[in-house]
Amino acid sequence: MIIPQAIPPAGYHFRDIQLEMSLKPFWDNSPETREAVCREIFLQWLPLCRYADSVSIMLWIGDGSEILEYQGDPSVEFEWGRYHGSANSIHVHSGPPPPDSGNPDHDSIGADARVRDPEKRGVHSRSYLYRPEPAKFSYAWLSELIKTLKRVGAEITGTRIQVGTTFDIGPEFAVSRFKYEWHREICGGAILFGGSFIRCDAALKGDQRKYAGFPQGIPEGTTVGRFLGKQCHHFFKDCPFDFIWFSNGFGFALEPWALTGNIFDGLNYRTDKVHETSKQILKFWQEFREEVPDVPVRTRGTNLTTGIDMGSDASPILDIYKSVAHVEPPVNSPWAALDGDIGLELSGWMSHIARVPGKGYRFRFYPHDPWWLNSPWLDRFQRQPYDIYIPLSVSRMNADGTVEPPSDLAFLTIDDSHGCMPPSVPVEVTSHILHGREYMPDAAGPIVWVYPFKEYNDLVFSETPKPELPFSGDWFVRGIIEHGVPVNTVINTDDVHTVLEKHPKSLAGSVLLVPAIAETEKLLKVAQEGGTVLFYGPLQDCADLREALGISLAEPLDGDFEVIDDARAGSRKLRHLSFLSAGGWTEAGGDAKDVSSIIAHRGNDKRVISAVRSFPSGGQIGWVRGSLATSEFDPANPKPIKGPRLSNMDPTTFVGGEEFAHSVLAQMHLTVDCEKQNGKDRTPKLTIHRNRNAFVFSGYQPDVSATLNLSLPLGAPLFEGMQNLIQGKTNKYSGPPAWHNVCRAFVEQPGEGYVTCRITPPVQRGYTLRNLVSGLKNATVRFFPEPGTEKRLEILKDPYFPYFKGDFVEPKFIQGKEGTYVEIENVTGEILFSW
């Protein structure tokens, strides 16, 4: 039976939906409980799973030690993640000894937590069993669970069910004798984590214990990749898993949780270690794949970006993508749920998917946490869906000019820390996921990040490595997203020139955001011929850009500068730290008569912050130096920083180097400024994507006192279903914590006033929808019709029901850079668009 749908099924379609869960919902190990829990899983998520080609259940059994310790005997019971808090050691800075695995309610307190929590009641002071007398599970029970999940899931959903397992490198999820008693030598991460995270390049000391892959014991010097691969080979034969998940950055860096690594020590770049570090990481993958050549690997990736991973730890991501079979690119980091760093979440994810090893990529959402007594959807997000709509606005552009939204979906996790599965959560989350897919990206957004995947790889692994350039460049893009610049479309440099040559309309209405390393001569020509390009980063190696912008090179400077801040009627400091900003500040001049520049001052020294030049063709180039700093670093007492990310400077004293992207974009007719009543208020985060010729705005507003000033080249966007405060060509918008607004109409009118835009019912046969705009005063209105409705579009001034008579306007369609639209001038009162 074919069921009619208002939205094409392709709009909701996912290739795979991954439901992640711990074993906590199985309060006992009986077949009856196993069957009942499996049925509840698929019944709860059926409204979403019905749109997927396959459904995956990913089991967080423990931390992967159940694989490492597997002997091949199905009757053996395994240790599993039955705790609240870190099962091993949480305050790893103090380096506590390994826990006694015979004590399941062990003390894992660090010295600093003793002061803050002397009674050790918090899960950051010790671990607790999640319930009295948790169930005990054997490998035979686990094998039956996998079979039950596949049988029940196929019965309920009617689709293919895959089941996967996880491998984590840290101390959190389950007591691990293997990592912290038997083979502590494989753990590193001393900078932040007290040597408690597995290093993928580690080698094991020999032991005589029996393992499934090593029945006579582990030979001295066996590598982690070889050992894990051989254990997986046997584990997957006996427990019929379909894939494995590498958690917490495993396989992408030697210290994947830290800002620093083998190359960047927090102050300097040790370039002599680049090639050996990269070789060791890639060797892990090669040896693992030799043992399990066909098992798909899904990856979490680090909390950082491709460029930062390359710059801090010589991560050979390009070689992994090119040479290792059956590897998915990393998902978006869940840390935006914890620290609110949307900029790092989006920039990290886009940098990973700019080039993918196969087809498709995965979006991951964080409804529950089964370990740390929080359920982000219910508490951290307050049921506000900003971490759904903002990531779902992301897309990657292909060489044929089409954009590709996420093909796959994942949920960490569907059960909470108590082993409960609240039924309201899948209902609420599913509604937002489906609405986001209804308006998924189908064309490039106003800003397209041109990501130099190969160029960054070549910079890091050249004979004279420059890891500081990708490190700094990616941190800059993270920063501008954090400051409200809508970057949510990414294209690889391998593809951008193909698109510009063969499918130029696909990028005609977009600003290209490009690091000043990626074939600047070709992209400068794009601007000279009518395009818009915004470069960022140092210009030492970009003579063509320096000439175009009237910039010269001077002595490299470091430290604090004064910047005149017209918006605040005063001045603020800008700190430039050379070790974070890809070198000292050398860009001087900026006084060319046809170039608009912002200058920083320190005594008699001047340095250019940003510059914009317009060409007779209508094209423009802009540039921002991108000075970076962190409050963790004291120039008077320079010590290496640790991270795990760059901390923001005090905004009442310092202006971030990323903020100047706003002034450049405003000159490019894209205004996304923010007004704050309090200097410490956080800036709203914003994305803009296209769907069926509409503009879709998604945002996160952590502080309600902030106001966004939104203006695109065609005027102020009108958000459907609300009153819009319009000032000239600007929408002055202050939204709720999470918002998702569709825009088909832009307005430009003198003065300030409220303009209402709302969807009204068609009420007559032959019509699908109506859009009514009210409160206009001598306005120019530009309306973007849905593709395929142009021939039946009706425009009626001062409409009155039933809309059959009145002042109809004959649509005159304009084929602009941004798409097809109609323009109506001198409108006062109301205007109705019907189709």
Residue 169 lies inside a defined structural domain of this protein: no
Evaluate whether residue 548 is within a structural domain.
yes
Question: DSSP labels for 663-680?
Answer: HHHHHTT-EEEEE-SSTT
State which residues form the domain around 606: 447-675
User: In one letter, which amino acid is 453?
Assistant: F
Q: Please, where are the H alpha helices in 83-217?
A: 111-116, 139-157, 177, 190-193
Give the mean pLDDT of the chain: 93
Q: Report the pLDDT averaged over residues 161-180.
A: 96
Residues 740 and 647 both lie in one domain = no
**Domain CATH for 576:** 3.40.50
pLDDT-wise least confident of 264-268, 587-591, 637-641 = 587-591
Whether residue 591 sits in one domain with residue 455: yes
Residues 623 and 689 in one domain: no
> 199 pLDDT exceeds 90?
yes
The yes-or-no verdict on residue 704 having pLDDT over 90 is: no
Give 590 or 790, the one with higher predicted confidence: 790
Burial of 254 (0-12, 13-18, 19+ CB in 10 A): buried
Q: How many CA atoms lie within 13 A of 369 on its CB side?
A: 21
Q: What is the token pair recorded at 73? A: 């005997």
Out of 675, 699, 718, a domain closes at 675
Q: Return the number of other C-beta atoms located less than 10 Å from residue 461's C-beta.
A: 17
Q: Are residue 661 and residue 533 in the same domain, yes or no?
A: yes
> Could you tell me if 667 and 727 lie in one domain?
no
Model confidence at 95: pLDDT above 70: no
The SS3 of residue 718 is strand
Last residue of a domain, one of 675, 699, 733: 675
Regarding whether 721 and 642 lie in a shared domain, the answer is no
CA distance 86 to 371: 8
Contact 694, 743 (CB under 8 A): yes
Is the domain of 669 the same as that of 720? Answer: no
Q: How many CB atoms lie within 10 A of CB 630?
A: 17
Q: Mapping DSSP to helix (H, G, I), strand (E, B) and coil, where does residue 814 land? A: strand
- Alpha carbon dihedral 675, 678, 683, 684, in 10-degree steps, equals -70
Rg (CA), the chain: 28
CA 379 to chain centre: 21
Given this model, what pLDDT does residue 643 score? 83
Side-by-side strand order, sheet with 243-246: 297-299, 243-246, 160-167, 52-60, 14-22, 408-411, 362-365
Last residue of some domain: 675, 697, 723? Answer: 675
Read off the pLDDT of residues 727-775 as tens digits, 9 standing for 90 and up: 999 999 999 999 999 999 999 999 999 999 999 999 988 899 999 999 9
Distance CA 393, CA 693 (A): 14
What's the average model confidence in pLDDT over 116-138? 89
Q: What is the DSSP string of 615-671?
A: -TTS-EEEEE------TT--TTS------SSPPPP-TTTB--GGGHHHHHHHHTT-E
Query: What is the band of 120 on the pLDDT scale with cuts at 50, 70, 90?
Result: confident
* pLDDT average, residue stretch 511-524: 92
Integer CA distances (angstroms), 571 to 591, 600, 675, in order: 20, 10, 17
Q: DSSP character for 178?
A: I
And the tokens for 139? 């490998």
Contact by Cβ (8 Å): 239, 219: no
Which is it for the CA torsion 728, 730, 732, 736, positive or negative? positive
pLDDT tens digits along 480-500: 999 999 999 999 999 999 999
Element (H, E) at 23: none
Would you say residue 648 lies in a domain? yes
Q: Can you point out the beta strands (E) in 23-85?
A: 52-60, 83-84
- Above pLDDT 90, what percent of the chain? 86
The residue-averaged pLDDT of 39-44 equals 98
Range in 109-113, 352-356, 514-518, 814-818 the model is least confident about: 109-113
Could you give the count of Cα atoms lying within 13 Å of 554 in the half-sphere of its Cβ? 14
Lowest-pLDDT choice from 83-87, 102-106, 196-200, 568-572: 102-106
More confident residue, 337 or 104: 337
Length of the chain measured in residues? 835
Query: What pLDDT score was predicted for residue 100?
Result: 33
Q: Can you tell me the mean pLDDT for 374-382?
A: 96
Q: Do 485 and 567 share a domain, yes or no?
A: yes
CA angle 669, 674, 676 (to 5 degrees): 160
- 477 — pLDDT class (breaks 50, 70, 90): very high
Do 639 and 769 lie in one domain? The reply is: no
| pLDDT value of position 591 | 81
Nearest-angstrom CA–CA distance, 190 and 181: 17
pLDDT at residue 231 is higher than 50: yes
One-letter amino acid at 455 equals: E
Looking at the fold, whether 723 and 830 belong to one and the same domain comes out as yes
What number of CA atoms fall less than 13 Å from residue 597's CA on the CB side? 22
Tokens of residue 409, six digits? 């979906």
Model pLDDT, residue 570: 60
What is the tens place of the pLDDT at every residue in 661-670? 999 999 999 9
Residue 58 belongs to a domain: no
Residues 139, 74: contact at Cβ < 8 Å?
A: yes
Half-sphere exposure of 154 (CA within 13 A, CB side): 9
Q: Do 647 and 739 belong to one domain?
A: no
- The Cβ of residue 115 has, within 10 Å, a number of other Cβ atoms equal to 8
592: confidence class by pLDDT, cuts 50, 70, 90: confident
**721: its two tokens:** 């279903």
> In this structure, what token pair is assigned to residue 74?
């199905």
Q: How many helices (H) and strands (E) does the chain have?
A: 21, 38
Is 668 domain-assigned? yes
**What is the distance, to the nearest Å, from the Cα of residue 475 to the centroid of all Cα atoms in its chain?**
13
For residues 492 and 515, the answer to whether their CB atoms sit within 8 Å is no
Average pLDDT (330-349) is: 92
Residue 52, domain member (yes or no) = no
Average pLDDT estimate for 674-681:
85
CA distance 349 to 333: 7
pLDDT tier, 7 (very low <50, low <70, confident <90, very high otherwise): low
671-675 and 707-711 strand pairing: antiparallel
* Residue 514 domain flag: yes
Q: 662 and 628, same structural domain? A: yes
Task: Give how many domains the chain has, as a whole number.
Answer: 2
Residue 203 lies in a domain: no
Q: How many Cβ atoms are within 10 Å of 705's Cβ, its own excluded? A: 11
